[in-house]
Structure 1
Amino acid sequence: MPNRYRAFLSWLAVMGLLYLPAAPTGAQAAKAARTGAATLRDGQHDFDFEIGTWRTHLKRLAHPLSGSGEWLEYEGVTTVRKVWNGRANLVELTADGPDGHFEGLNLRLYNPRSRQWSLNFANSSGGTLGKPTIGGFIDGRGEFYDQEDFNGRAIFVRFVITPLDADTIRFEQAFSDDGGKTWEINWVATDTRMK
């Protein structure tokens, strides 16, 4: 079996483990035992904590997966608006740094059947939505994954959202070009709620 195929199968197995339903509560466990069905966690309001306006400090790796250690830093503002009563939201980011002005948009959509979120990002310089990362929150931490091409190579993308407290959130994107064995972080943003 080719290494690339084996790596992809391993990644699929890992993805399956990441999205096992959370352990049911007492009432949920009793109902599941009676019906024989597993209860999936409803995460449609997982992003409600983020609705509002945030000051953003952003660092991005200038040349991902090249061995470069050059980071570019930006300061900006992120605004998150609730859509569809929380089952979707729209994120707008504007930032300025040494590489110029940056505008990004993220449309996050909740799928009630799979009980997962898709994060759909667009940069104003490109004007189209990229491939979505898919995932959800477990114990307050969001993890989202996809597979895409980067400079002609198939890579995995991981996006992690970690609320540090009620007024601070950390966002981290990483790429893997070895089937998920190692990850290179290339985007780190820290958002602080504006009062």
Structure 2
Amino acid sequence: MTALPVESAAVHDFDFLFGRWTVRHRRLLTRGVGADDWDAFDGTAFTEPRMGGISNIEQHDCPARGWRGVALRTLDLAVGDWSIYWISDRDGRLSPPVVGRFQGDGCRLEGPDADGGRPVVARYEWSRIGSGAPRWEQHFSYDAGATWELNWVMDFSRAAA
């Protein structure tokens, strides 16, 4: 099978994430009310490219909290934006995508979501991508982007071979 021709350098944006990781999670338990009740736990992740880099799959396993999830990332070659879709084994539903692009040593993506039935704007931010220890953060806005609340942080470190 011949690979599809891909001309955009953006196909390499997520190369930093390919492979196996241990992940330290910090998740805000009560969101949207100014709480400070963080839950910390460990998990694992595995990311691999598809279709010459214009998509990739990342699976997260969090046995300490009893869930697994998959991120599907796709690159729109016409405009250079990435879309990230999430599915969890808790409900099996594919979430609406967050959309954005890389600039410098990070990436910001935003899109509609829901938190406990409340509509929110979700923001995903990747940072430290060149460090070998990338960080992902999730923020929600309950007021259409006027203010943001950080509610999830994942710190990645390479898993032992």
TM tier relative to shorter chain:
0.7 to 0.9
Q: Residue 153 of structure 2 aligns with which residue?
A: 188
Gaps of 5+ in 1: 1-40
Gaps of 5+ in 2: 1-7
Q: Flag the structure with higher strand content.
A: 2
Q: Residue 21 of structure 2 aligns with which residue?
A: 54
Q: Residue 35 of structure 2 aligns with which residue?
A: 68
Q: Residue 109 of structure 2 aligns with which residue?
A: 144
Q: Is the 8 A contact 1:134 1:144 kept in 2?
A: yes
Q: Is the 8 A contact 2:54 2:75 kept in 1?
A: yes
Q: CA deviation at 1:179?
A: 2.6
- Give distance in 2, aligned partners of 1:79 and 1:87: 17
- Identify the range of structure 1 (45-54 vs 156-165) with the bigger mean alpha-carbon deviation: 156-165
Between the two proteins, the alignment pairs up a number of residues equal to: 153
Aligned partner of 1:122 among 67, 87, 94: 87
- Shift of the 171–104 alpha-carbon distance from structure 1 to 2, 3 Å rule, reads same
Q: Residue 78 of structure 1 aligns with which residue?
A: 45
SS in 1 for 2:123: strand
1:66-114 Cα shifts (integer Å, max 9, x gaps): 33221112211110011111111000011133xx312110000111012
Letter in 2 for 1:62: L
- Shift of the 149–164 alpha-carbon distance from structure 1 to 2, 3 Å rule, reads closer
Q: Residue 99 of structure 2 aligns with which residue?
A: 134
SS in 2 for 1:44: helix
Q: CA deviation at 1:177?
A: 1.4
Q: Is the 8 A contact 1:74 1:96 kept in 2?
A: no
Is residue 154 of structure 1 aligned with residue 119 of structure 2?
yes
Letter in 2 for 1:120: Y
Q: Residue 30 of structure 1 aligns with which residue?
A: none
Q: Flag the structure with higher helix content.
A: 1
Is residue 102 of structure 1 aligned with residue 45 of structure 2?
no
Q: Residue 174 of structure 1 aligns with which residue?
A: 139
Larger Cα-atom Rg: 1
How large is the Cα RMSD of the aligned pairs? 1.6
- Shift of the 140–60 alpha-carbon distance from structure 1 to 2, 3 Å rule, reads same
Q: CA deviation at 1:194?
A: 1.9
- Give the share of equivalent positions with the same residue, in percent: 27
